Structure 1
Amino acid sequence: MANECSQSNHVFEYESKPIVTIHTIDRWSIRESLEPFEQNEKKSKRKQRTVHEKPDIHQWNVDDVCLFFISVLGTTCYTLLIKEHLIDGTALLLLEDKHLMNVFHMSHDERVKLLRKIKKLKIDHPLT
């Protein structure tokens, strides 16, 4: 049966994946699979709610901007830069391609994706 764990003599094996290596600790053998663990990437409803709890982007703080980046790009790798440069909601609306390329060192695809979302935010929340 796929995805079935079997137990005998303190050996646990996940039978659905081929085995790469075996670690033995005391009398326990742990077998690692060839394929990495896969998890469906579902955007956290809690994180999205946190960003949208403040509908006025000009009220967003640095943490709200971090959550926005995570929701758009699906990664936390820009969190430190956002915090280092104190990018709040108003500053987010001022970001341009050159900033994303030179400061954040983003790939072209990430920049395009983020700039589209920022453009939508600018339309929905014009600077006053």
Structure 2
Amino acid sequence: CRNRAEDIRNWSVEDVCLFISRLDGCSLYSETFREQRVDGRILVLLTTDHMIKSLGLKLGPAVLISEAVTKKL
């Protein structure tokens, strides 16, 4: 488990964008993550509240992304 957690934290901005773009219903938000320079280290710290209020995501995609990130840890 620890190795997988380290892997996601080492993701580049492009890795994060690819991950987001592959999630059902979330692909249109990948550019937002790129613009905000969200890399893996930041991605694991983001809450759904951050994604909604700071990144402008809708609740559904924010929850899906949060769940997908949690599964990677």
Task: Please indicate the TM-score interval, normalised by the length of the shorter structure.
Answer: 0.7 to 0.9
Structure 1, residues 9-45: CA drift from partner, whole Å, max 9, x if none? xxxxxxxxxxxxxxxxxxxxxxxxxxxxxxxxxxxxx
Runs of 4 or more consecutive aligned structure 1 residues displaced over 6 Å after TM superposition: none
**Cα distance change on mapping 1:109 and 1:76 into 2, 3 Å:** closer
Could you list the per-position Cα deviations for residues 78-117 of structure 1 after superposition, in whole angstroms to 9, with x for gaps in the alignment? Answer: 2332122211111110110111111222222212211111
Higher relative contact order (CA 8 A, sep 6+): 2
What is aligned with 1:112? Answer: 63
Kindly name which structure, 1 or 2, has the bigger radius of gyration based on alpha carbons: 1
- Residue pairs, 1:42-57, within 5 angstroms: 56-57=7-8
* Structure-1 separation of matches of 2:27 and 2:66: 17
Q: Is the 8 A contact 1:73 1:114 kept in 2?
A: no
Look up the equivalent residue of 2:48 and give its one-letter code. Answer: D
AA matched with 1:113: L
Q: Structure 2 unaligned runs (5+)? A: 1-5
Identify the residue that residue 35 of structure 2 maps to in structure 1: 84
| TM-score for the superposition, normalised by structure 1 | 0.47
- Aligned-residue offset at 1:58: 2.0
Greater per-residue helix proportion:
2
RMSD: 1.9
Greater share of residues in strand: 1
**Is the partner of 1:77 in helix, strand or coil?**
helix
Q: Percent identity?
A: 29
Residue 63 of structure 1 is matched in structure 2 by 14
Contiguous gaps of at least 5 residues in structure 1: 1-54
